[in-house]
Amino acid sequence: MNAKPYFADIHQLLKPAGPIYASGWVKTTFPIAASAKAGIMIEFLDSAGKMIGSSRQPIPVGGTTDWRLLEVFASAAPTGTAKVRVGGFLWAAKNDALSLQGKAYFDSMSVERVVRRPDLPGDFLNPGFETGLHDWLDQYGTSPVLQVGPAAGGTGIVRSGQYAAGKKITSVSVQDFYSQGSQVFSAAKLKAAGKKWAVIHARTTFKAGSSARAGLQVQFLNSSNGIISQRKVQIGDTKNWTPLFVSLNTMPAGTYAVRVMSYVYAAKGNTASVGGWAYFDDAATTTVKEAPPSALVGTLDEPAPLAGMPGSDEFVEEE
């Protein structure tokens, strides 16, 4: 696994005929900082055995987890499909020795030729990064850096527990810096549970007056994953842990899913932003605008500011 990323799968081959829904239970026992991830896949192969399409979890399972049901769906095979490969996969980055210290388990795999959308969760998985950076879809910009706090023997910046996520603004020379970590929820489940707010705690070390911002953005998605509208709250400068609340109330008509994203932004050419860090910890969806309690383990920080007392440059906008 040193020359290239590790990849292994266990699968069966099916004929291409209509929709495919596949599910399976997956459990992993990797160290939380390992890159290894396990998931369920549907892959479409042409007559030469070349993959011409696929469907996988956007966020496979990693770290150490209990058994989790994973689902994947494809409405139809692409033109030219000769065989369909359905099964489980295991991936790890090259040179990642930590991933050698664990296993992935698969059980109760099933395939049905039916139209069934994978179920969306109703709340955050791994909301406080206590199982590492897993379960967050990380896109654009630089990869997050796992913060290992004093309780776990490290010197990282954490708000509670042993771990948090950190992101550094690395470059603004070619384009705006933009980096995000997100999870997607079922709108129906959020409503049924009476959830009215999404919150994450952010801490920043940005230069005063620079364009760097750390924020929380909520996107209301229709059943085709199109954005109906969005709302966000953000902070700049250097700030201690600050809860960023975005309202989930009064979702727009037709909202099927809700994407909640922590993000870091800096404008192109604003070199004063480069080198600044944003840290994230303790995300939640809540019924009232109240910061989830800090575990007060492994942190010497002052308590988070009271909810409803945001920094002066915080703002909310709807688009």
- Which of 161, 166, 215, 298 binds Ca ion (CB under 5 A)? It is 161
Rounded-to-integer distance, Cα 191 and Cα 251, Å: 9
- Which of 24, 60, 102, 128 binds Ca ion (CB under 5 A)? It is 128
By CB under 5 A, the count of residues binding Ca ion is 6
CB of 295 to Ca ion, least distance (A): 7
Both tokens of 176, joined, read 């705006």
Binding part of the chain for Ca ion, among 2-10, 49-57, 111-119, 157-165 by CB under 5 A, reads 157-165
129 or 206: whose CB is closer to Ca ion? 129
Query: How far are the Cα atoms of 36, 171, 194 from residue 100, in angstroms, in the given order?
Result: 9, 33, 42
Query: How far are the Cα atoms of 73, 111, 152, 243, 246 from residue 202, in angstroms, in the given order?
Result: 35, 41, 20, 6, 13
Contact 194, 136 (CB under 8 A): no
CB of 7 to Ca ion, least distance (A): 30
164 or 248: whose CB is closer to Ca ion? 164
Residue type, 276: G
Query: How far are the Cα atoms of 60, 162, 237, 288 from residue 296, in angstroms, in the given order?
Result: 30, 10, 25, 21
Considering only residues 270 to 309 of the shown chain, the ones binding Ca ion according to CB under 5 A are: 281
215 interacts with Ca ion by CB under 5 A: no
- Taking every pair of Cα atoms in the chain, the longest distance, rounded to a whole number of angstroms, is 62
Q: Which candidate, 49, 51, 56, 138, places its Cα nearest to that of 91? A: 56
Binding part of the chain for Ca ion, among 82-90, 129-137, 172-180, 304-312 by CB under 5 A, reads 129-137
Binding part of the chain for Ca ion, among 35-43, 59-67, 83-91, 162-170 by CB under 5 A, reads 162-170
Sheet holding 163-168, edge to edge: 145-148, 163-168, 277-286, 197-205, 238-247
**Using only C-alpha atoms, what is the Rg of the chain?**
21
CB of 254 to Ca ion, least distance (A): 35
CB of 129 to Ca ion, least distance (A): 5
60 or 149: whose CB is closer to Ca ion? 149
- Binding letters toward Ca ion, positions 87-126, x by CB under 5 A: ----------------------------------------
Query: What does the binding site for Ca ion look like in residue numbers (CB under 5 A)?
Result: 128-129, 160-161, 164, 281
